[in-house]
Structure 1
Amino acid sequence: MTSLICGSLAFDTIMLFGGRFSEALLADQLHKINVAFLVPEIRREFGGCAGNIAYNLKLLEGDPLIMATIGMDGDPYLERLDRLQISRRCVRTIESSYTAQAFITTDANSNQITAFHPGAMALSHHNKVTDAGPVKLAIVAPDGRDGMLQHAIDCVDLNIPFIFDPGQGLPMFSGPELEHFIELATYVAVNDYEAELLTERTKLPLEQIGKRVSALIVTRGEQGAEIYTDGKQIDIPCVTADKVVDPTGCGDAFRAGLLYGLTHGMDWTTTGRLASLMGAIKIAHEGGQNHHPSREEIEERFHKAFGYRF
C-alpha cells in the first residue's frame, strides 16, 4: 500500500543555542533586529519533510514513495535512500541548483529560528504525480509553491486521496489559495501555530474547516492533538518521551503515523495515538532521522502507552 510523499529533501544544519530567544529579542526593538547567537554545538543532518516522513514510515514497515527534487550536491542523500531501501524513482535531480538547505537554531526552550534556501525544491513542479504509478494515499507536504499546487491538482485528477500539510510553506499562499487546497484535500494536518494562521487567512474556524474535509488534524505539542472528523472532536494525548532532545522533525514523524494508520484502515483514535507515539520517539533524538526503533519496539511502546496493540 504505497504512500506518495510529495515534499522536500533537504540538508539541515542544526545549531543549539544554550540561552533563550526571548531574552535576546526585545519586544520594543523588533523593528530593528541585529542579534547574534553563540552556538557551540552544530551538526549537519539529512532532512526535508518528504525525507523525514518517508524515514518514519519505513520504520513502521510502510511503503513510502518520495516525490521530490534534489540538487547537484544530492548524491549522499540518494545513496542514503538506497541504503534505507526507500524508493527514489520519483526523485528528480536538478543539476543547476543546490539541494534545499535549512539552517535551524534551537534555544533552551525548544523554540526554533530557521533560515531556508529552497534550491532545487523551487522546481518541484517538474515532477508529475502520474509518474508515481498506483498509490493508495498521498501527502502534499512543504515543497516549492508551484509544486504543491500542481501535486494537489494531480491527486484530485487521479482520484488519489491526500493530506494537505502546508507546514512552513503556509505563508506562501493567500486565503483563497488555502481555501482551494482545503476544497481539494481529503485531510488537512497543521500544528497549532499553522492552525491559527490558516483560520486567519481563510476566515474559516477550525470546526468549519473540519466539515469541509474528511478530517482536520491539529497538533499542539505537549498538549497532544485534536482530530476534527464527522462533526466531532477526538482528543489525542501526548505520549511521554523518554527525554526531550530535539523537536526537529517531530511533526513529520507524526504525519508518518497518520499515513500508516490511514493506509491500514485504523480508526482515528488509534491513528492519532500512533502518530503521537512516533513524535515522542523522534523528539528523544537529535535530527529528523537518527532514531532507530524496530517495528516490534514501536508496537511494544504503543501497547505500554495505550494498553492495546495497533
Structure 2
Amino acid sequence: MRIAVTGSIATDHLLTFPGRFTDQLLADRLDTVSLSFLADRMDVRRGGVAANIAFGLARLGLAPVLVGAAGVDFADYQLWLKEHGVDVDFVRISDTLHTARFVCTTDRDQNQIATFYAGAMAEAREIDLAAAGTFDLVVVAPDDPAAMLRHTGHCRRTGTPFAADPSQQLARLDRDAVRELVDGARFLFTNAYEAALLTERSGWSEEEVLERVGTWVTTLGAEGVVIRRAGQPALTVAAVPAKEVADPTGVGDGFRAGFLAGLARNWPDERAAQLGCALATTVLESVGTQEYPLSGDALLTRIAGAYGPDAAREVGPALAGVA
C-alpha cells in the first residue's frame, strides 16, 4: 500500500513547567492574560505532524512518502528520516526560510500551551501532489491551509482515497474550508475537542459529518479511541496503560501511524486501533515524537497485556520484523 503523508515538518522545542497552568489563571482577569511560565527543562526534537506519522509508519515496516515543505536547515533532519525508511524525495526545501517551529510548554497535569511558527511550511501550497505519482491513500494532515485544500482537491479529481486530519488548523479554517477538507474523506481523524470544534466550524451535526465520511476516528486520550461509521454501532477501543508519562507531544501522531499501518495490512478496525493505541503509549513514555524505542516484541507484549493473547496472536506475524 503506497501512502503519502502530507503536512507539517517541524522542529519541536518542548519545555516542562513544574507547576499547574490553572493555578496561575485568575477567573476575573482572563480578558487580559499576561503570564510567563518558568520552565525547568527544554528538549529540542524533530517533529511536525506529517513527519511524525510518516516516521511511525516507516518504523512499522511501511514505506511512506512524506510530502511537505521544509527549510534551509533541513539537511540533518532529512537524513534522519531517510535512514529510518521515509521517502523524502518529494519534500520541498525553501531557499530562504527555516523549517517550521513548534514551541510547547507542558505542565505537571500534562496540559499544554503551544505556539507554531510556519516558516517554510508556507511554501507547501506550491507542491503538486501529482508529481509524486499515484497513491492508495493520501493523509492530509495539518499544513499550510491552501496546501491542505490543494491536496484534497487533487484526491477528489483523481479518485484517490484520502484521510482528513485537520486537527490544529481547525482553529483558523472557515466553514467552507472545513467542509471541503472533510467531505468525501475515507477517514476523518480528530481528538475529542477537535470533534466538537469540527461540528461547530462546519455547521454540520455529528450525524451529518458521518454521512459525508467513511470512518470517523476520535482519540480520547486515556479513554482510548472511538471509531464510528454511519448507521453502525460505535466501536470503542481502550487505551494501552502507560508505565509512566514522559511527554504527550506526538501521541496522536503515533496512534495514526499505528492505525494506518494496521489498515495497510488489511486488519479490521479493532486490531488496527489496538496497534495505534500501543504505539501511542510508546510515544507517551518518551520525550520527543520520534525518539521512542520500538520493537515487535515490546508492541506484542503491550497488546497482549491490554487486549489479550488472541489479539497479540493475530497481529504477531506482521510485527515480527519491527525493530
Fold match by TM threshold 0.5: yes
Per the shorter chain, which TM-score range? over 0.9
Matches within 5 A, 1:147-158: 147-158=147-158
Partner of residue 290, structure 2: 289
Matches within 5 A, 1:263-302: 263-302=264-303
Partner of residue 89, structure 1: 89
Equivalent-residue separation in structure 2 for 1:207 and 1:259 (angstroms): 24
1:115 equivalenced with 2:115 (yes/no) = yes
AA matched with 1:263 = A
Partner of residue 48, structure 1: 48
AA matched with 2:281 = A
Partner of residue 239, structure 1: 240
Deviation at 1:230, TM superposition (A): 4.3
Contact kept, 8 Å, 1:61 with 1:295, in 2: the verdict is no
Contact kept, 8 Å, 1:153 with 1:184, in 2: the verdict is no
Partner of residue 20, structure 2: 20
Equivalent-residue separation in structure 1 for 2:133 and 2:299 (angstroms): 30
Contact kept, 8 Å, 2:4 with 2:66, in 1: the verdict is yes
- Greater strand content: 1
Q: Which runs of 5+ in 2 are unaligned?
A: 316-323
Contact kept, 8 Å, 1:137 with 1:263, in 2: the verdict is no
- SS state at 2:300 partner: helix
AA matched with 1:181 = L
Partner of residue 193, structure 1: 193
Equivalent-residue separation in structure 1 for 2:102 and 2:23 (angstroms): 24
Contact kept, 8 Å, 1:136 with 1:263, in 2: the verdict is no
Equivalent-residue separation in structure 1 for 2:36 and 2:16 (angstroms): 13
Equivalent-residue separation in structure 1 for 2:202 and 2:93 (angstroms): 35
Partner of residue 141, structure 1: 141
AA matched with 1:224 = G
Contact kept, 8 Å, 1:3 with 1:259, in 2: the verdict is no
Q: Which runs of 5+ in 1 are unaligned?
A: none
Aligned-residue RMSD, C-alpha? 1.3
Contact kept, 8 Å, 2:207 with 2:230, in 1: the verdict is no
AA matched with 1:288 = T
Equivalent-residue separation in structure 1 for 2:307 and 2:207 (angstroms): 27
- SS state at 2:88 partner: strand
AA matched with 1:295 = G
Partner of residue 61, structure 1: 61
Structure 1 stretches of at least 4 aligned residues deviating more than 3 Å after TM superposition: none
Between the aligned residues of both structures, percent identity stands at 33
Contact kept, 8 Å, 2:240 with 2:303, in 1: the verdict is no
Deviation at 1:27, TM superposition (A): 2.2
Contact kept, 8 Å, 1:5 with 1:64, in 2: the verdict is yes
Equivalent-residue separation in structure 1 for 2:26 and 2:200 (angstroms): 26
Contact kept, 8 Å, 1:165 with 1:188, in 2: the verdict is yes
- SS state at 2:31 partner: helix
Moved more, 175-184 or 112-121: 175-184
Partner of residue 160, structure 1: 160
1:256-293: CA deviations, max 9, x gaps? 12211222211111122221111111100001011121
Equivalent-residue separation in structure 2 for 1:25 and 1:279 (angstroms): 30
Contact kept, 8 Å, 2:184 with 2:212, in 1: the verdict is no
TM-score (norm 1): 0.96
Equivalent-residue separation in structure 2 for 1:131 and 1:304 (angstroms): 44
AA matched with 2:5 = I
1:96-115: CA deviations, max 9, x gaps? 11110011000001011011
TM-score (norm 2): 0.92
Deviation at 1:254, TM superposition (A): 0.8
Contact kept, 8 Å, 1:13 with 1:104, in 2: the verdict is yes
AA matched with 1:54 = A
- SS state at 1:4 partner: strand
Partner of residue 252, structure 1: 253
Moved more, 124-133 or 9-18: 124-133
Matches within 5 A, 1:162-241: 162-232=162-232, 233-241=234-242
1:157-195: CA deviations, max 9, x gaps? 222211100111111211222122221322110001111
